[in-house]
Amino acid sequence: MSTSIPQQQEEGDELEKTWWKEAVVYQIYPRSFFDTNGDGLGDLNGIRAKLDYLQELGVDMIWLCPVYKSPNVDNGYDVSDYQAIMDEMGTMDDFDRLLEDIHSRGMKIMMDLVLNHTSDQHPWFLESKSSKDSPKRDWYVWRDHPTNWESIFGGPAWTYDPKTRQYYFHLFSKSQVDLNWENPELRRAIYDMILWWLDKGIDGFRVDAINHLKKEYTDMPNPEGLNYVPAWEKMTNVQGIQELLAELRRETFDRYDVVTVGEANSVRAHEISEWISEEEGKFNMIFHLEAHEEAWDEESAGVDVDDLRIVLDRWQRSAQGIAWNSLYLENHDRPRTVSTWGNDREHWRESATALGCMYFFMQGTPFIYQGQEIGMTNAPFDDINMYRDIETKNMYRYNRQKGVPHKDLMKTIKKISRDHARTPMQWNFGANAGFTGGTPWIPLNPNFNWLNVKAQQQDPQSVLSFYKKMLKLRKDHEALVYGSTHLTYLECPYVYAYTREYGEARYLIISHLDDDTCSWWNPVDGELLLSNYDSYVDGKLQPYEARVYLLN
């Protein structure tokens, strides 16, 4: 007996073929990637030293988290000079050599672009706060009376400046001061900076917190009498933001053959047209959080496969024929997926590869976050002093002040802290996992003594080997890039399955996202192209088993 997958009709028009749709992007968190000078922090020369590794993996584009000059209150997302390199990372000459080396290998580079705010040490803000009469006073947001908003990192969203006797606005920390995008001079300065980087030869931008550029500055209702009130709707996707984003694209990105990805966490699939459609979109892709918000059960620390199907299929169908998706499991702001959606104990390898297979072959550009390709896990940090993330630290402090017990807070932090994605890359069995000859800026995950690149490079069944096979398979089969995606419901409740269809070519991707086995039969006339098990059990899917078939 075999499973017969019904033929589907291809939907929509075929999208234009472009290099960035065919690419696979690898995200690097530079301070945790590889350190070459022994100061415990990764650097640009460390990235250059690992280009052979990235090329062998098969990636086409490298996305760097911020390397601009910064006091590093939020690890580079507080920029003090957009056109200089932070001291810890190296020099602009180091960056130019990295750019040249990447391009010489036929690879491309994407920079992280922080446009919602600058550091409070940026010369623009230092001038803005010098006087109410400063020419740059209106480059930031100042008020005599603050609103009752709470910042995303906790505490008030306004900070008082005693010299000028006004409050300045900060959506995140008080060291990350929001720019006033209503000011045309500020916008022109931003555009000139972007053009400077594009002239240098970079190939794209991931644009941070892009749906927050426009705000509506009024108080929130406060029936509970809170000190500060979350004000998400006042600072997210506010009316008029599309006009600002259209000007940004017109004045910068449209002048070059580059790719742009906007971080727009709250955007939903039905809004896709104005954000990323090929006809009127402001970016080529966006990163949304809907799958992580809807499918992750924080209490059980597992994935709801039904919810995951609903969310991801909605995005696939909404984009079909009009737009292009970004595909990702992890990034620098998310805990490790094998620890949250998978099983990082008994079925670590199987769940790391099954989750990878689940997302990688949908229509869209796949993004791999450093360490994901070897199945790095959340760190077992029990002490709040082992964490470095400002969001984690602030959350702990503000909630302790509210009387939340330490034990309860640590239970949450061990599940969701951003630092789980920021522990150093685990290269080998040596001291500090081969990351640094010095003292790492953040503790390593102790499992590096068995979970590392060196241990997996010669193992054909490793997570790393499976990722290499996925990248090659996608490159070798055009249908796995441009084909339409059709959700397929099988008898197993924990199986995520879909077909990719392009002309006469049809593929079936299945990922069993559960610890148990389930009954299932091979497809009729299907050729197995990829599996994360070296043998299969007839009539069953094993725990976290993943397969890719070519359907004849």
The pLDDT tens digits for 386-425 are: 999 999 999 999 999 999 999 999 999 999 999 999 999 9
Return the beta strands (E) in 358-411 as ranges.
365-369
221/127 Cα distance (integer angstroms): 34
462 touches 470 (CB < 8 A)? no
Q: Which of 43, 60, 263, 391 is catalytic?
A: 263
CA distances from 86 to 26, 70, 75, 284, 551 (A): 21, 6, 10, 28, 51
pLDDT digits over 24-74, tens only?
999 999 999 999 999 999 999 999 999 999 999 999 999 999 999 999 999
- Measured between alpha carbons, how far is 349 from 128 in angstroms, rounded to an integer? 52
pLDDT of residue 245: 98
Q: What confidence tier does 297 reach under pLDDT thresholds 50, 70, 90?
A: low
Is the pLDDT reported for residue 10 higher than 50?
A: no
Give the whole-angstrom CA distance, residue 287 versus residue 325: 8
Quick check: 538 pLDDT over 90? no
| Section 504-508 average pLDDT | 96
Q: What is the pLDDT of residue 400?
A: 94
Q: What pTM value is reported for the model?
A: 0.96
- Radius of gyration in angstroms for the set of CA atoms belonging to the chain, rounded to a whole number: 24
Instruction: Tell me which of 208, 391, 501, 514 is the catalytic residue.
Output: 208
How does pLDDT run across 107-136, given as a tens digit for each residue? Answer: 999 999 999 999 999 999 999 999 999 999
Task: Please answer whether residues 159 and 104 qualify as being in contact, where contact means their C-beta atoms are separated by less than 8 angstroms.
Answer: no
Tell how strand 484-488 and strand 365-369 pair up. unpaired
Whether 185 sits among the annotated catalytic residues: the reply is no
What are the strands of the beta sheet with 204-208, ordered from one edge?
285-287, 259-263, 204-208, 108-114, 61-64, 25-28, 365-369, 326-328
Q: What is the DSSP letter of 66?
A: P
| Domains parsed from the chain with CATH numbers | 19-116+184-381+423-478 (3.20.20.80), 117-178 (3.90.400.10), 382-416 (no CATH), 485-551 (2.60.40.1180)
Chain-centroid distance, C-alpha 241 = 22
What mean pLDDT do residues 77-106 have? 98
Nearest to 333 by CA among 367, 359, 305: 367
Q: What percent of the chain has pLDDT over 90?
A: 90
234 vs 13, 67, 78, 221, 437, CA distance in Å?
A: 37, 30, 22, 12, 47
Mean predicted confidence (pLDDT) in 89-108: 98
16 pLDDT higher than 80: yes
User: What average pLDDT does this structure show over 483-498?
Assistant: 92
Q: What is the pLDDT of residue 2?
A: 44
Residue 539 banded pLDDT, cuts 50, 70, 90: confident
Classified as helix, coil or strand, 210 is helix
Q: Is the pLDDT of residue 333 over 90?
A: yes
Is 263 tagged catalytic?
A: yes
